[in-house]
A and B are shown apart, each in its own frame.
Chain A
């Protein structure tokens, strides 16, 4: 999976979670949940959806690595290898 494909999946699912926002305007080091105002329930739902879409498991202890757009993309890219 290319980095672009991963990002486009992230954007798509973030848009679904927070339809009133524009995820593509996220800066790489911006905290996603803070920037898009996503609560813990929606955050979990987002990760579940990522898991379903990309088939990548995200253990709970790795949640910290999913905080920013950059770290999340890196994390998923690495796991998808």
Chain B
């Protein structure tokens, strides 16, 4: 057993950025308050002092402007890490992302790669109310030309960035504000994350819980509780939301014959919708029960804590849903 270290999600993200900055001098971080302030969520605290203004770049409050600048820099051969403070502001540079980053390879007849990496903090759980509590992964996962990944664990918080930077195509990374202070043990030598593959976080034979992001630890906790009741749940962290690692979850469902899809995004046309559809297409005859989705309640996310909690799936919800599928 290799050595483990205890680390917060925030520190893991920062370690990933530091590693990237060390390993490749074309890499630089740009975003609102990432430098002097140390990042809105203190992820990049201290990096300005360590790497200097050329590598850690504060930008004006104009997402359309600086995301566009990042895309331009990547076209020119640099490896920018663009931080959009939170996904709530991501509609402003959507034109740059959807119409430039995602299409230029195609529009240029294959001449122009856009190796930009855009990090966004997302999700709910900090009582930030309706305008700052978005789970917009599905909006981005809808767009061909983008690679969309979701950081559901500490290991991936550290390992995803370097792989993303090696991608010749634009990568959108979703990180989760509510997980920043969470501590976890990870292998001291945990390396780069393969962002083309989903990851089975827990093996099981009775049901596949397919999730990503904040759902991963919740599903693992639910699986732990379920195992005490004799239910052996498999937990799949989709990790990459576009392009989906279909093989992984089709294989899993073919083994367990049941699937519960969990995510915080609103249920209508979310990632689970797509996963569910593919299960129907590819594994219909393996199903022993209807596929069930647990998604966000379709309301603007409320401010009061109890209502906020009620608006997305919790551990108990996952647990109950699994029991309902297996022991109707």
A and B touch in the complex (CB under 8 A): no
Q: Which residues of B contact A (CB under 8 A)?
A: none
